[in-house]
Amino acid sequence: MAEEKDPEVHEIVLEPDAELRFEVESKLDTITLELKVGLAEIFGTELVKGKPYTFTTGAKLAVFTWQGCTLELRGKRNLCYIAKETPMMFYLNCHACLEQLRMKAETESEVKRGPITMVVGPTDVGKSTVSRILLNYAVRMGRAPVYVDLDIGQGQISIPGAIGAILVERPADVEEGFPHNAPLVYHYGHTSMDKNHQTFNLLVNKMAEVVHERLQTNRKSNISGIIINTCGWVKGEGYRHLTHAAQAFEVDIILVLDQEKLYNELVRDMPNFVKVVLLPKSGGVVERTKKFRMNSRDARVREYFYGGKTPLHPHSFDVKWSDLRVYKIGAPPLPDSCMPLGMKAEDNMTKLVAVQPGPNLLHHILAVSFASSTDDDVITTNIAGYICVTNVDVENQTLTVLSPQPRPLPDTLLILSDVQFMDSH
Ligand code: ATP
């Protein structure tokens, strides 16, 4: 690394197949990167030469180059290093295999659709990153795949506690990720699957059904296929959720990151036509502490309401308790012996239960459903978006809500989420 005169500006030369890994830890720090010579990409998105990219607290990234490049980095360099060993060639090979399957779907009439790929593995192995790389490479080949995110802990497409799907037609923005135009979102309401297995599986089934239906009407996407990102819970019930999702989406390929045990279990349990592939994780993937995860959930909700690089201006207004119809998913468990004949206690977990508005809603997120009555199948109806209860006035029986849309709230049902957000704006 040849240093320039300004101590905060560094020129970094990367050889072919190497990557510069960096983190921004402190709230006060930022790192700005500029590609000066050659070609480079961040998780599959090509950098534009001469354009400065700024990264703020929490960023953990790698700039990879196939051909070699020179970068200019502004900011503290102590959390940066160059790695010459990366698994990018494995990931590129995966992309090439997917591309072949897409070409088959395009040219051979008996192949009805492009590949459906699920990315699995324990926590912090780079599942979201590999999904992003594969989506970006597909888009750069002129494809338009669907990205399905089943990781309720991070909630990349909407907010934590939701599963979502988007059509990807452009590479991810280096700083902001994929644009979330017209996402398909289902509300689950918890950040962990063990809170309500039945509802989670129900939503995965519904998501799979709707995504498949939509692909039928969009030939380009149907050929491009689906990339499904999953949650890092891979043992016991978590494993059963993975196999359930694989079945629901009719996956063709499962990419297993970094865990031979999981790979072997899937090879054993999946039908023969599902190709299970073991891939190495990148040495750059950073382990995230519980606290970091909580902070990034919070940051994700803040970004949902207030935007990121492009700021958003949410609305704040009061609504009367009596004007709201709030529900939650799942009734408190009853012993089987107390259930009506023919019903099991777990059936209660997919019941809609009315919630009386009051101080219990303070700081909670509420999903704005597209369902307008409990006669609809509310749980499996997708949602329009989220609001957050920022204040409860018991005397006047009103709530103050933070909403991406101006008042009034649509006359539909609201579904309570376990997820809370303290609005500090
Ligand atoms: P989770 O268990 O939460 O689902 P995951 O397996 O999806 O995690 P990622 O979110 O893809 O893991 O990666 C974890 C972190 O590591 C992210 O902040 C990501 O940006 C970072 N990361 C991934 N690959 C690299 C790399 N090669 N160099 C530096 N940072 C990386």
Render pLDDT for 240-286 as a digit per residue (tens, 0 to 9).
Answer: 999 999 999 999 999 999 999 999 999 999 999 999 999 999 999 98
Residue-level pLDDT at 2: 47
Residue-level pLDDT at 180: 83
* Other CB atoms within 10 A of residue 36 CB: 14
Residue-level pLDDT at 337: 66
φ, ψ of residue 233 in degrees (nearest 5): -90, 105
Q: Which of 23, 41, 55, 60 to mutate to test the pocket of ligand 1 (most atoms within 8 A of CB)?
A: 60
Ligand 1 contacts CB of residue 128 (under 6 A): yes
Ligand 1 contacts CB of residue 286 (under 6 A): yes
Q: How far apart are CA 124 and CA 257, in angstroms?
A: 10
Q: Give the chain's mean pLDDT.
A: 92
Q: How far apart are CA 367 and CA 166, in angstroms?
A: 18
Mean pLDDT is lowest, of 11-20, 31-40, 209-218, 288-297, for 288-297
3-state SS, residue 221: helix
Q: How far apart are CA 209 and CA 198, in angstroms?
A: 17
Q: Spell out the residues 6+ positions from residue 283 whose beta carbon is closer than 8 angstroms to its own.
A: 83, 85, 86
Residue-level pLDDT at 143: 98
Under a CB-based contact definition with an 8 Å cutoff, are residues 174 and 401 in contact?
no
Structure tokens at 24: 């921004």
C-alpha neighbours within 13 Å on the C-beta side of residue 94 = 30
Residue 355, pLDDT above cutoff 90: yes
Q: Closest residue (by CA) to atom 9 of ligand 1?
A: 126
Q: What is the position in ligand 1's atom list of the atom closest to the CA of 62?
A: 28
3-state SS, residue 89: helix
Under a CB-based contact definition with an 8 Å cutoff, are residues 3 and 10 in contact?
yes
User: Which is more confidently placed, 109 or 114?
Assistant: 114
Mean pLDDT is lowest, of 54-63, 72-81, 203-212, 241-250, for 72-81
Sheet containing 116-120: give its strands across: 184-187, 162-167, 146-149, 226-229, 116-120, 253-257, 275-279
Residues counted in the chain: 425
* Mean pLDDT value of segment 206-224: 97
Q: How far apart are CA 363 and CA 222, in angstroms?
A: 40
User: Which is more confidently placed, 60 or 249?
Assistant: 249
Ligand 1 contacts CB of residue 76 (under 6 A): no
Q: How confident is the model at residue 340 (pLDDT cuts 50, 70, 90)?
A: low
Render pLDDT for 153-192 as a digit per residue (tens, 0 to 9).
Answer: 988 999 999 999 999 999 999 988 998 888 999 999 999 9
Ligand 1 contacts CB of residue 297 (under 6 A): no
Q: How far apart are CA 47 and CA 25, in angstroms?
A: 23
The dihedral built from the CA positions of residue 76, 77, 80 and 82, taken in this order, carries a sign that is positive
For residue 15, what are the CA distances in angstroms to 31, 68, 145? 21, 4, 31
Residue-level pLDDT at 166: 97
Can you give the pTM of this predicted structure? 0.93
Residue-level pLDDT at 121: 97
Distance 390 CA to ligand 1 centre (A): 32
Token pair 């408190």 is found at 332
Render pLDDT for 275-334 as a digit per residue (tens, 0 to 9).
Answer: 999 999 999 998 888 888 898 899 999 999 999 888 999 999 999 999 999 999 987 766
Which DSSP symbol is given to 285?
Answer: P
3-state SS, residue 193: helix
Q: Closest residue (by CA) to atom 19 of ligand 1?
A: 60
Q: How far apart are CA 256 and CA 254, in angstroms?
A: 6
Residue-level pLDDT at 336: 64
How do the residues of the chain divide into helix, strand and coil, expressed in percent and rounded to 5? 30, 30, 40
Q: How confident is the model at residue 3 (pLDDT cuts 50, 70, 90)?
A: very low
Ligand 1 contacts CB of residue 152 (under 6 A): no
Distance 281 CA to ligand 1 centre (A): 10
Which residues face 60 on adjacent strands?
Answer: 23
Residue 4, pLDDT above cutoff 50: no
3-state SS, residue 351: coil
